[in-house]
Amino acid sequence: MKLLIIDDEKSIRLSLQVGLAKTGVKIYTAASGEEGLELFRNINPDIAVIDIKLPGIDGIEVLRRIRKENDNCIVIMITYISEVRLAVEAMKLGANDYFTKPFNIEEIKDTIENNLKYLKLKRELSQDQYEDFTEIVGISDQIKEIKKVVQKVSNLPYNTYILVQGESGTGKEIVAKAIHYNGIRKNTPYVALNCAAIPQNLQESELFGYEKGAFTEAKTSKKGLIEESHGGTLFLDEIGDMDILLQAKLLRVLQEKKFRRLGGVKEIDFDANIIAATNKNLLEEVKNGAFREDLYYRLNVVPIFTTPLRERVEDIPPLIDSFIRLYNSQLNKNIIGMTDAAMEICKAHQWKGNVRELKNVIERIIIFQENECIDIDDLPHSVISDIHMINDKNIIDMGNNNLNLEIVEMETISRVLKQNNWNISRTAQELGISRLTLRRKIEKYSIMK
């Protein structure tokens, strides 16, 4: 396991190195955002501890760039108490936790050790135990419409073209797998290519394959993903990141239903269901010259739009229930559910990472869960940070959920007051409200020491 510490204060880097030495993790350090990003790309750490205030590229920008390249790294931010709002912003960008200076080294050590256990356990579980969750879950009108489309296209007697568009983490690949595995093609090949994860100079050989001697490294012949998917489904994830020249070659294959391997002369027949997905606005990409208009219209025969989770809050409870069942089975646990107060916090959270973020949160909770029911204290800081931004407007905006949210607010204020030994100023700062507002709420809820 590898840990990267990015902080411009040498004393903090040293104290973290000394304090975490016995965890057994290999520790790397950097003193600036630029140095940290370069080191991150070279070592691919499992956990990164990042100071928000850095010379040059600040910690928020470092986090933003890391999350574009790596969803799996655990990121812990460090900040001063006066900058707690920046920490909340970091949570929304994908940070897993944060600590305020001056921090307790034992608390950070415990957090990192727990994360190391989580990562180790996850890696030890076999691939069979961690099969992808492919059921489309939800009760919203948006999900009901997607299910109708999936049911129709999954049983078409001929191959077609489907374009799934939506933010990252909204379940585009789940839609693709539902189309493939719930219809007449379930016993045929399902082949996926993530265009954003493969360098552009390798995309063509991955897609088309190659013959021996086609280029220096081609010691043997290799089938491409197009050939592997013949008769089944080819899923092209993040199609918006495909090289513009390769787009032209792909379009020709889709039109002629034939292709050649790199370095080959023989034409090979090809016919498969094509499902493309993207988190980009492809029409805007067409206008900007980054995506071929003819390929867009070729792929967009059956359009499907996956809505962000924050716009279909009613789907959060059934999703949580389904993930609890999934990980109960995989981890041999018996968690019966989530309390109403904890559920209200989950419903209030923005879920910038959408369903993927929710799934990861539930998995992580259940790995360490000892009680039979998930409560507020079991939720990670990244989720309850939204509730920390408490004000009267948030209460009004919740409409019919006022009563439940007030219970959540009261419990949250009580907990943060206790954590800060009833220091009103510090608690108000952490909650993002004024001292006067905090005192009013203490009086309103009759919160006692």
pLDDT in tens, 50-107: 999 898 899 999 998 888 777 778 899 898 866 667 777 787 778 888 888 877 788 8
Q: Would you state the pLDDT for residue 124?
A: 56
Tell me how far apart the alpha carbons of residues 229 and 92 are, in angstroms, rounded to a whole number. Answer: 38
pTM for the complete prediction?
0.63
pLDDT tens track for 122-145:
665 544 443 444 579 999 999 999
Of the listed ranges 34-43, 307-316, 423-432, the one predicted with least confidence = 423-432
Q: Would you state the pLDDT for residue 401?
A: 43
Q: Would you state the pLDDT for residue 403?
A: 42
Average pLDDT over residues 216-240: 90
**Amino acid, single-letter form, for residue 99:** F
Long-range contacts of the stretch 330-339 (C-beta < 8 A, 24+): 330/125, 330/129, 330/130, 331/366, 331/367, 333/366, 333/369, 334/372, 335/366, 335/369, 335/372, 335/373, 335/374, 336/372, 336/373, 337/373, 337/374, 338/373, 338/374, 338/375, 339/373, 339/374, 339/375, 339/376
pLDDT tens track for 242-294:
999 999 999 999 999 999 999 998 999 999 999 999 999 999 999 999 999 99
More confident residue, 427 or 152: 152
- How would you write the chain as a 3-class SS string? CEEEEECCCHHHHHHHHHHCHHHCCEEEEECCHHHHHHHHHHHCCCEEEEECCCCCCCHHHHHHHHHHHCCCCEEEEEEEHHHHHHHHHHHHCCCCEEEEECCCHHHHHHHHHHHHHHHHHHHHCCCCCCCCCCCCCCCCHHHHHHHHHHHHHHCCCCCCEEEEEECCCCCHHHHHHHHHHCCCCCCCCEEEEECCCCCHHHHHHHHHEECCCCCCCCCCCEECHHHHCCCCEEEEECHHHCCHHHHHHHHHHHHHCEECCECCCCCEECCCEEEEEECCCHHHHHHCCCCCHHHHHHHCCEEEEECCHHHCHHHHHHHHHHHHHHHHHHHCCCCCEECHHHHHHHHHCCCCCHHHHHHHHHHHHHHHCCCCEECHHHCCHHHHHHHHCCCHHHHHHCHHHHHHHHHHHHHHHHHHHHHCCCCHHHHHHHHCCCHHHHHHHHHHHCCCC
Q: Would you state the pLDDT for residue 432?
A: 67
pLDDT at 175 over 60: yes
Q: Would you state the pLDDT for residue 404?
A: 52
Percent of residues, the chain, with pLDDT higher than 90: 48
Would you place residue 394 in the very low, low, confident or very high pLDDT band (cuts 50, 70, 90)?
A: very low
Mean pLDDT, all residues of the chain? 85
pLDDT at 111 over 70: yes
What pairs with residue 303 in β-bridges? Answer: 163
Q: Would you state the pLDDT for residue 418?
A: 86
Q: Would you state the pLDDT for residue 283?
A: 95
Would you place residue 395 in the very low, low, confident or very high pLDDT band (cuts 50, 70, 90)?
A: very low
pLDDT tens track for 353-377:
999 999 999 999 998 888 899 998 8
Q: Would you state the pLDDT for residue 362?
A: 95
